[in-house]
Chain A
Amino acid sequence: MTTTLTENSTAPEPAASTTLLEAKGVIMRFGGLTAVRNVDLTVGSGEIVGLIGPNGAGKTTFFNCLTGLYVPTEGQVTYKGTVLPPKPYKVTQAGISRTFQNIRLFSNMTVLENVLVGRHTRTKEGLISALLRGPGYRRAEAEARTRAMEILDFVGLAAKADRLSRNLPYGEQRKLEIARALAGDPGVLLLDEPTAGMNPQETRATQELVFAIRDQGIAVLVIEHDMRFIFSLCDRVACLVQGEKLVEGTPAVVQSDERVISAYLGTPYDGAPGSEEVAEVQAAEAAADGATSEEEDR
């Protein structure tokens, strides 16, 4: 059901692609505040779709709605025609993997172990078989390791498989997050600001990596603030402002759209998002994050 890395599929024409991930009328409210308003978005197979917008526009909130971390107040998200269950682990099981805006690796596990955890949904060995260590268990474990090493090789981290992930340099931690997400054999990969904090060389390398992932037949939805990165990478770009989808189209269309420019550069126009509102959205997102991950800092 899911495409694998080893399977070579040529990048299909965007027009001919079938819809993989479809969000219809997604609304996310935190109390009285609406962070995402009625957003429609589709990601077709073999597509790289970009999601841009000023800070606090609701991009990450929308991402969390797609991956089951938040349950949308209204609207629904379907993957290959079936409605996604509102649990993150079931969404991953279905074939949608993600990375995080602020790196969330398992920092005290080795690089290889991180990828093996990402492989969790594609292996089935339970406690009993782990205790008995039969031939079936050994085979599955060996296969998982081989596959994990393939993926590490793909992103260029194979030589560092036995390092603790916390000891990797920043750029490689980002790569490892992508490798970990790829280990779940996703149909759609969701990248949340994959080049944040990177220098131009690293950004270019990430761009190559995303193209390579697309060439493996995995559709990509990416949030990014780096406009050069997003416009040279994506087949289609959607711009989110104040929770609403302002415009969607090819990079050229979005790039020249006056409303996008004014949303970023702050040229006043009717209904432009005020700074208090932006702060409000951010605060609500932070509060919601805090509620789901209260003891992360422990």
Chain B
Amino acid sequence: MTTTTETTRSAVHRAILPIPITTARALIIIGGALTAASAFLSWTWTSAFPGDLTVDGYPGGLQWLTFAAGVLTAVFGLAGHGIRGLRRLNPAGSSSAELLLAVGGLAVTWFTLGAISVELGGLVNLTVGGWIAGIAALVPVAGALGLPIEGEPGSATSRGSALWRHIKNHPSIKPTRPLPAYAEILIIAAVLAVGLGLFTYGIDTGYGELFVGFLITVVFGAWALYSAGLTDQLSAITARHRSVTAIGAFAAAAAFPFTQSSDQYTSIGVNVLIFATVALGLNIVVGLAGLLDLGYVAFLGVGAYTAALVSGAATSSLHIVFPWWAAALTGAVASMVFGLLIGAPTLRLRGDYLAIVTLGFGEIFRIAVSNFDGVTGPNVTGGPNGIPNIPDISVFGIDLGKSHSLGGFTLGRFSNYFLLMLLFTAIVVLVFTRASDSRIGRAWIAIREDETAALAMGINGFRFKLLAFALGAGLAGLAGMVQAHMAFSVVPDPYQFAGSVPPNSAFLLAAVVLGGMGTVSGPLVGAALLYLIPAKLQFLNDYQLLAFGVALILLMRFRPEGLIASRRRQLEFHEAEQPILQTTEEAGLTKAKA
């Protein structure tokens, strides 16, 4: 599509396809509507493909995703056309948003058609409706390619193709006047509700094809919203209402078990939450203090083993039973002590040396607990069999092992643990935010930036590094307590450096880097993705790690600051691409954030 004459043409028209702009817009709107409508047709003959795509007049399974993408494309097309009230949808006025939505619709539709053809054996399995959908999805893409590309004319042509400019597009929006407070809070609530809905939909997907389709739609949708400048506006709004956002986010997370009718998916939910919380603890060590810890999962293990030992399990070598809060505290304190013991000798090292030594200590923990079995060492941890049959805990008289009904909803065992874990997540989030924005947090960041200069500023480097290490370890220990009780048993195997199932040290670090170092929401999002994708895509099996590696490489190439960037890192990596704001504007923005 892009030809060698592109350079000369782009100077005049600056679009990839040479069609008039009005025609292009019409193509987007009509094509989007057609794509959405085609979801109502039947796409295949038999119900052998999951989701039953054989019904005319009602979308099913993956067709819903095509429908959603089509509707969004049409709506953004209308917004681009300048319909009153829809303008706010695309504050950056970016044609990339329309292109991304159209491509997203095309991708999810063609993925569905491809999956039908491959799984059922040939294109013959597609009905006329399927062919119509496939062609209809092409129309808005063609339209979007006919729109002019924003960016300085000629500046990017030397560096890459026009398509590349769409990919590299960073939205530039002028700071808008704040809406009334109630409207902004309503927007936050709506976004959180949509977020909860998306998370629930993703976690509830019953088959791999639907999850892949869901991922495609969400990735392109989120990218389009970013291009449109909506995510920037949203972060400005949430920055103005930080406590509302935080409380709302936890309310939305607490609502998750109530959306589930069985415990089938809440077990995934609680595992995601444990993984995310531990990743956030690691973010203190890696993201704030800049200490590369490759053995962090050992602290989760210490917390879990400690909680198991004081749980009153028959196989525990200590025959004592602690109440839940005491067990959690014991787990945290034991982890913290372990962190101090490991940190005191290792934190005198810097950089790569520290990484290697922590990696070693992480493995030492796992091998040591496998050997404390009464044969090769004292009988403390039950060796490779671990400590099985850990009893459920009761919190304020509520037995977490049993189902409870609350206001017409039944909360199963995993739902109970989900809510308990959410409490610990809230504690960790609070600790992280308050510590990072304080004298202590500034000292950590200073050490990360330049340790020699930090020392010269009067910061006791070793002490503060040890503090970060111990605090991170203690927070992981908290999560370990829930993990031990939720999983019924603790065994040494999961607490290794790299494995197929998160959390392990490599995945924890990946969650932090992928999500965004130094932020609260980054590791939470990263951990959710890293847990859900392997859990949902079991058909990938052998290629799982390969896909994971490719995804990480792509991310590091295009968004090295992580999915959710702190303001600081955003500036660090994309300084050249962003105009420096006027001082007054910037002061205003930061004041709003504070």
Instruction: State the A residues within 8 Å of B (CB).
Output: 67, 69, 87-89, 92-93, 97-98, 100, 104-110, 113, 116-118, 120-121, 123, 125-127, 130-131, 133, 137, 141, 144, 159-164, 166-167, 180, 184, 292-296, 298
| Interface residues of chain B: helix, strand, loop or mixed (majority) | helix
Which residues of the other chain, A, contact B457 by a CB distance below 8 angstroms?
89, 92, 117-118, 120-121, 180, 184
How many of chain B's residues touch chain A, expressed as a range? Answer: 35 or more
Selecting from B44-52, B183-191, B253-261, B583-591, the interface stretch reads B583-591
Name the residue of chain A whose CB is nearest to the CB of B441. A130
Is B446 positioned at the interface, with any CB of A under 8 Å from its CB?
Answer: yes
* 10 A-B residue pairs with CB within 8 Å: A87-B460, A104-B452, A104-B453, A106-B450, A108-B569, A117-B443, A127-B471, A130-B434, A137-B438, A180-B457
Interface string of B444-465 (1 = CB under 8 A from A): 0110011111111111110000
Which residues of the other chain, A, contact B456 by a CB distance below 8 angstroms?
67, 69, 88-89, 92, 97-98, 100, 104
Verify A159–B583 contact, CB threshold 8 A: yes
Which residues of the other chain, A, contact B552 by a CB distance below 8 angstroms?
none
Instruction: State the B residues within 8 Å of A (CB).
Output: 350-352, 430-431, 434-435, 438-443, 445-446, 449-461, 467, 471, 568-569, 571-572, 575, 580, 583, 586-587, 590
- For the complex formed, measure the closest distance between the CB of A252 and the CB atoms of chain B, giving whole angstroms: 34
Verify A184–B458 contact, CB threshold 8 A: yes
Report how far A167 CA is from B574 CA in the complex, Å: 12
Which residues of the other chain, A, contact B443 by a CB distance below 8 angstroms?
117, 120
Contact of A89 among B461, B572, B587 (CB under 8 A): B461
Verify B445–A130 contact, CB threshold 8 A: no
Kindly list the 8 A-B residue pairs having the minimum CB-CB distance in the complex, ordered from nearest: A295-B351, A121-B458, A92-B458, A130-B438, A106-B449, A104-B453, A88-B455, A295-B350
Verify A164–B568 contact, CB threshold 8 A: yes
**A163/B450 contact (C-beta < 8 A), A117-B459, A130-B435, A130-B439 known:** no
- For the complex formed, measure the closest distance between the CB of A290 and the CB atoms of chain B, giving whole angstroms: 11
Report how far A110 CA is from B461 CA in the complex, Å: 20
Name the residue of chain A whose CB is nearest to the CB of B589. A162
**A106/B445 contact (C-beta < 8 A), A127-B435, A130-B440, A162-B586 known:** yes
- For the complex formed, measure the closest distance between the CB of B293 and the CB atoms of chain A, giving whole angstroms: 15
Contact of A167 among B431, B442, B455, B580 (CB under 8 A): B580
Report how far A123 CA is from B438 CA in the complex, Å: 11
Contact of B351 among A89, A100, A123, A298 (CB under 8 A): A298
Report how far A238 CA is from B453 CA in the complex, Å: 26
Which residues of the other chain, B, contact A123 by a CB distance below 8 angstroms?
439
Report how far A121 CA is from B456 CA in the complex, Å: 10
Verify B434–A133 contact, CB threshold 8 A: yes
Verify B442–A163 contact, CB threshold 8 A: no
Name the residue of chain B whose CB is nearest to the CB of A190. B456
- For the complex formed, measure the closest distance between the CB of A191 and the CB atoms of chain B, giving whole angstroms: 13
- For the complex formed, measure the closest distance between the CB of A128 and the CB atoms of chain B, giving whole angstroms: 10
Which residues of the other chain, B, contact A137 by a CB distance below 8 angstroms?
438
Verify A109–B442 contact, CB threshold 8 A: yes
**Contacts A92-B456, A125-B438, A125-B440 supplied; 15 other A-B pairs, CB < 8 Å:** A69-B456, A89-B458, A100-B453, A104-B453, A106-B446, A108-B568, A109-B442, A109-B568, A116-B439, A117-B442, A120-B457, A125-B439, A126-B440, A295-B352, A296-B452
Which residues of the other chain, A, contact B442 by a CB distance below 8 angstroms?
109, 113, 116-117, 120
Which residues of the other chain, B, contact A166 by a CB distance below 8 angstroms?
572
Which residues of the other chain, B, contact A294 by a CB distance below 8 angstroms?
350-351
Verify B440–A127 contact, CB threshold 8 A: yes
